Amino acid sequence: MSELKINWITIEHASEMTGASVAIIQDAIRKYQNKPEALTSKIENGTIFVDKSQILALFSSSANPINKDKIPGTLFRWFDELRRTYESSLNSMQKKIERSQDESKQELKHQYETRIFELEENYQHQINNLKQSHNEQIKLLKRNILRLEKEIEFYQNQNVSQQKSLEQLNTRYDAIILALHHNNRADSSVQSTSVLPHQPEAEDVTTALTSNYEIETHCPHISVDWQIEALLDSAFQAREQKEFKIAFELFEQAAMLGSNKAMGALARSYFTAEGIEKNIIKAIAWLKLANAYQFEPAKQKLKNVSEEYPVEFSESDTLAQSLNEQIKYHLEEHSGYTEA
């Protein structure tokens, strides 16, 4: 419909002409807002206008004085239609609310299930970590137990070895005591000879040592040789087992019986602090005695230490002579020998 052919009137004017209230006309406008062929309306400066001919057509009964008595029926139908419109709107709104509630429930359910799944995964991950940590601790404890068992086995073997060594030492000690007892009862008519014959071809230090000491001792009885052999055997065995203190004591006993090997071993012990505190003077003194008692390896060693320790080399003479006197006295006292 062309706007030039429309006779616009306000809704108030339309209410006066039709007898319908302004509210009813406004509802009609909303009802037919998408149907301009039934009712056309517009708003200008806040005022609502409608097509006069259309509004009269819609409310013809109200506008016709003859049909004034039909107005209540018209209003009833109007309100009934309005009620149905509102019910439809309410139903639509209710459905929208129900759909929204269903969607919210589904979303909440999804979030709940997701959260439960995440918690289960985290819990399972923690359980796996605890299992792994527990297994590692068990492995560590097993390794420690195995190490401790090996240490126990090692110390048990050491204990057994020490017991055997102790038994061997006791046996040899008993044998030495028996040999000494036998020697004390034996005839003491053994001829004595010098252990340190003059050696003109020896080094100057050896020659001087031999002449200054005037070393004289006695040819050992066969039982003394056996004692020396037993002591040396036990001493070298103890040294191989790194029982240096026991080895030192056995070497010292053999040296006092005139063993040149034991004297060389005592020199080594004092040089290297094996079983005794390191003492260069005592080491050189025993080395001089070992050389004087014909221990060949001591000769070259003496030459080296005389150059390396010149002061100690000189100071060891007195100690070497004193040790030699002790050896002579020990042989005379414990082996039952007499001088020629």
- pLDDT tens string 148-159: 888 788 878 777
pLDDT of residue 3: 59
On the question of pLDDT at 204 being above 70, the answer is: no
Q: Would you say domain 3-91 falls under CATH 1.10.1660?
A: yes
Question: Is the distance from CB of 197 to CB of 311 less than 8 angstroms?
Answer: no
Domain ranges of the chain: 3-91, 204-335
- pLDDT tens string 282-314: 999 999 999 999 999 998 899 899 999 999 999
Q: Which CATH architecture has domain 204-335?
A: Alpha Horseshoe (1.25)
pLDDT of residue 162: 74
Give the count of beta carbons closer than 10 Å to the beta carbon of residue 265. Answer: 25
pLDDT of residue 198: 34
Higher pLDDT, 171 or 115: 115
Percent of the chain with pLDDT over 70: 74
Tokens of 104: 């919210």
Radius of gyration of the chain (CA): 65
Alpha-carbon span 198 to 195, nearest angstrom:
10
Mean pLDDT computed over every residue of the chain: 79
